Amino acid sequence: MENKNFDVIITGGSYSGLSAGMSLGRSLRNVLIIDNGKPCNRQTPHSHNFVTHDGKTPSEIAQLAKKDVEKYNTVQFYNGTVVKTQKTTEGFEIETSSGEKFNAKRLILASGVKDIMPDIPGFAECWGISVIHCPYCHGYEVKNEVTGILSNGDMAYEFSKLIFNLTKNLTLFTNGKAALTEEQLEKLKQNKIILNEDEIESIQHKNGSIQKIIFKNGKEIPLQALYAKIPFEQNLNVSDDLGCELTEQGFIKVDMMQKTTVPGVFACGDNVTMMRSVANAVAQGNFAGAVVNKELSDEEF
């Protein structure tokens, strides 16, 4: 790629990054979108709760989005992985794993997050297929099925209330001693939500579809779906490289304008919110692109 200098570099070319790219491309901004083609939902067979695209595969939505953005010749794409980001006197320098470096006046972080899988055989193979993270994205498809929740503490309790609306055949698996209050435990009992504190040995599945949970004590429980909240980490080390502040939960801290704590750096998508959905990512990216264009316009006028 001959051109190394851009108005805006977007790290991440999934829904949020592409949406930001379209907003900026339509504003005639010179944009580079860097993406390695490995979104966190690549195993998910269907995406839901996004009008006009409900039920399509995540990759199909991304391909359609990229095709739309490619119509704007001021937007360029680079297939690669960002390994370093740093501030310069003119803006920001981005370095990829191949050693190439690019510069921009503004930076939009749309690189998403990396899920950290628990050490449970079968879990990773089912992630996004029958082990699911979001009742809004996947809950309707498994409504009234034999369902489990893998969580503990306050998160498990709050999750139970949401899933109880979708199925009454529900078991909460804490994978060890429950860390819930007496009041929470009583509420689960009142709603006939089964509490299981046995430690999980593995998940038996067929091509990512859960068949049963096997426990270390030898017990087995058949299951059709399992909701899980698991840890994550940022795909980019923006806190060390750029100095972007993170929230207590590990998300990039942004204000109402998608601005991070570092001037000139914006962020949108899964890396800033627990509401991980395609629709939300598209909305945030669209808005971030508009805000960045406004900031550049004010600077240049």
Q: With a cut of 80, say whether residue 30 has pLDDT above it.
A: yes
If you average pLDDT over every residue of the chain, what do you get? 94
User: What pairs with residue 244 in β-bridges?
Assistant: none
203-222 per-position pLDDT tens digit: 999 999 999 999 999 999 99
147-197 per-position pLDDT tens digit: 999 999 999 999 999 999 999 999 999 999 999 999 999 999 999 999 999
Mark whether 81 and 100 lie in a shared domain: yes
Largest CA-CA distance found in the chain, in angstroms, rounded: 71
C-alpha 138/C-alpha 202 separation (Å) is 23
Mark whether 146 and 51 lie in a shared domain: no
32-77 per-position pLDDT tens digit: 999 988 777 777 878 888 888 888 888 898 899 999 999 999 999 9
Residue span of the structural domain in which 186 resides: 124-228
Q: With a cut of 80, say whether residue 93 has pLDDT above it.
A: yes
In this structure, what are the phi and psi dihedrals at residue 232, rounded to the nearest 5 degrees?
A: -145, 170
CATH at 179 = 3.50.50.60
End of a domain among 228, 255, 272?
Answer: 228
CB 146 within 8 A of CB 226: no
The C-alpha angle with vertex 5 and arms to 2 and 8, in degrees rounded to 5, equals: 125
Q: Based on the structure, what is the number of domains in the chain?
A: 2
Mark whether 153 and 295 lie in a shared domain: no
pLDDT at 16: 96
End of a domain among 186, 208, 228?
Answer: 228
Mark whether 253 and 289 lie in a shared domain: yes
Q: How confident is the model at residue 15 (pLDDT cuts 50, 70, 90)?
A: very high
Mark whether 218 and 236 lie in a shared domain: no
C-alpha 263/C-alpha 270 separation (Å) is 21
User: What pairs with residue 196 in β-bridges?
Assistant: 173
End of a domain among 228, 257, 283?
Answer: 228
Mark whether 92 and 235 lie in a shared domain: yes
Mark whether 134 and 187 lie in a shared domain: yes
Mark whether 173 and 237 lie in a shared domain: no
